[in-house]
Amino acid sequence: MDFATLLQVLDSTVRLATPLLFACLAGLFSERSGVVDIGLEGKMLAAAFASAAVAAVTGSVWLGLLAGIVSATLMSAIHGLASITFRGNQLISGVAINFLASGLTVLIAQSWFGQGGRTPSLIGGGRFTGITLPFAEALSGVPVIGPIYAELISGHSILVYVAFLMVPLSWFILYRTRFGLRLRAVGEAPEAVDTAGVSVIGLRYAAIAICGLLCGLAGAYLATGLQAGFVREMTAGRGYIALAALIFAKWRPWYALWACLLFGLLQAVALRYQNIDLGAFTVPVQVMDALPYILTVIILAGFVGKAIPPRASGEPYLKER
């Protein structure tokens, strides 16, 4: 593999890791507050459709982004209603949201656009286009560093940079602010937070609102940045890969970045090479497809460091009387 191919693979890794990173951080906020979210997939899908549909109708990608965030947040609100207010089973609610998004997106797309459950292809202002960072042209002649800067770092759409900036931001919010401290506390010991006079319900709703916002960004990037329009089931399991990355990262922001880059790399390699010839034997493409899940199971099994979720995650909080 030469240097140019390597750069191409890494470039596509960055693109493919972006939606994973958004969704993974979304799950991080939700689960750190004690609300398990297996509905990331559905929220992304809803956001992908809403952003593509609005961008196609209005021709403005920014309105599309807004619609994506609103739709994912609405889905989050349903999840919150079921799992926080009515203390229902959070896993079942997540499953329901995934199906709701999977069905509604195609249903509405068919009813609005009549193109077999997809939106029209986005053109011009309906898409996020790449941004050329300063000096990318000038530096591209410099050996090694030039191409890395011009090809790998420059030229992505704005949401890619937002995603990577979200990592330090999430870290800061979670570990350096009062809100973050309380959010983490409510996922470990909600009764203590309640005793301190802070609203458990309020904190959890805030957490899933952030989750909705980030899922909205993930879905919008999928439909308006990575691809040009919505097609049915376009998330293709990314929500679950993000969930896997979250466990892989043991619910911590910086590790989430590395986990998403790793899984992005796996996707990029699987996309580029059908079967990988290692000389002695060939690695079939299906192994690459399954690797994120296999790695997560190994991590979950605790053979390579133990992944312990926030203590109160999955437990609805019932105030004692």
Partner 1 sequence: MDKMPAWADAVLVPLISILLAAVLSALVILAIGENPVDAFKLMVEGALMRSAGWGYTLYYTTNFIFTGLCVAVAFHAKMFNIGGEGQAMIGGLGVALVCLFIPFPHWSIALLVATLAAGAFGALWALIPAYLQAKRGSHIVITTIMFNFIAAAVLNYVLVNVLRPQGAMDPATAKFPEATQLPTFQDLFATAENPLFRGSPANVTFFLAVLACVAFWFLMWRTKLGYEIRAFGHSESAARYAGISPVRITVVAMLISGGLAGMMALNTTMGEAERLVMNATEGAGFIGIAVALMGRSHPVGIFLAALLFGFLYQGGAELALWTNIPRELITVIQALVILFTGALDNMVRMPLERIFMATRRRNG
Point out which span in 9-17, 151-159, 167-175, 240-248 binds partner 1 (CB under 8 A): 240-248
Binding mask 154-193 for partner 1 (x = CB under 8 A): ----------------------------------------
Closest approach, Cβ 167 to partner 1, in A, equals 23
The b-or-e profile of 252-290 (16+ CB within 10 A means b, else e) is bbebbbebbbbbbbbbbbbeeeeeeeeeeeeeeeeebee
Asked if residue 71 lies in contact with residue 216, where contact means CB atoms within 8 angstroms, the answer is: yes
Phi–psi pair at 154, nearest 5 degrees: -90, 165
10 binds partner 1 (CB under 8 A): no
Chosen residue from 60, 110, 129, 227 binding partner 1 by CB under 8 A: 110
Region 63-92 residues binding partner 1, contact defined as CB under 8 A = 78, 81-83, 86-92
Touching partner 1, residues 33-52 (CB under 8 A): 38
Q: Which of 10, 95, 153, 162 binds partner 1 (CB under 8 A)?
A: 95
The answer to whether 286 contacts partner 1 (rule: CB under 8 A) is yes
- Find the shortest distance in angstroms from Cβ 52 to partner 1: 17
Residue 289 binding partner 1, by CB under 8 A:
yes
Amino acid of residue 161: Y
**What is the C-alpha to C-alpha distance for residues 263 and 21, in angstroms, rounded to an integer?**
10
Q: Which two tokens stand for residue 79?
A: 């999840």
- Asked if 58 is part of the footprint of partner 1 (rule: CB under 8 A), the reply reads no
- Of the candidates 103, 130, 168, 202, which one interacts with partner 1 according to CB under 8 A? 103
Cβ distance to partner 1 smaller for residue 228 or 288: 288
User: For partner 1, what does the binding mask look like between residues 243 and 272, x meaning CB under 8 A?
Assistant: xx--x-------------------------
Segment near partner 1 (CB under 8 A); pick from 8-16, 95-103, 135-143, 185-193: 95-103
Out of 56, 106, 183, 259, the only residue in the binding site for partner 1 (CB under 8 A) is 106
Q: How far apart are CA 36 and CA 182, in angstroms?
A: 17
| Burial degree of 189 (CB within 10 A; 0-12, 13-18, 19+) | middle
302 forms part of the interface with partner 1 (CB under 8 A): yes
Q: Which is nearer to partner 1, 37 or 213 (CB)?
A: 37
Site for partner 1 in 114-133 (CB under 8 A): 117
Contact residue for partner 1 among 9, 74, 77, 96 (CB under 8 A) = 96
Q: Residue 42 carries which side chain, given as an amino acid letter?
A: G
Q: Report how far apart, in Å, the C-alpha atoms of 109 and of each of 57, 113, 120, 195, 224 are.
A: 12, 6, 10, 47, 16
Q: How far is the CB of 115 from partner 1 (least distance, A)?
A: 12
User: Residue numbers of the site for partner 1 (CB under 8 A)?
Assistant: 38, 78, 81-83, 86-93, 95-100, 102-104, 106-108, 110-111, 117, 232, 237, 240, 243-244, 247, 284, 286-287, 289-290, 293-294, 296-297, 300-302, 309
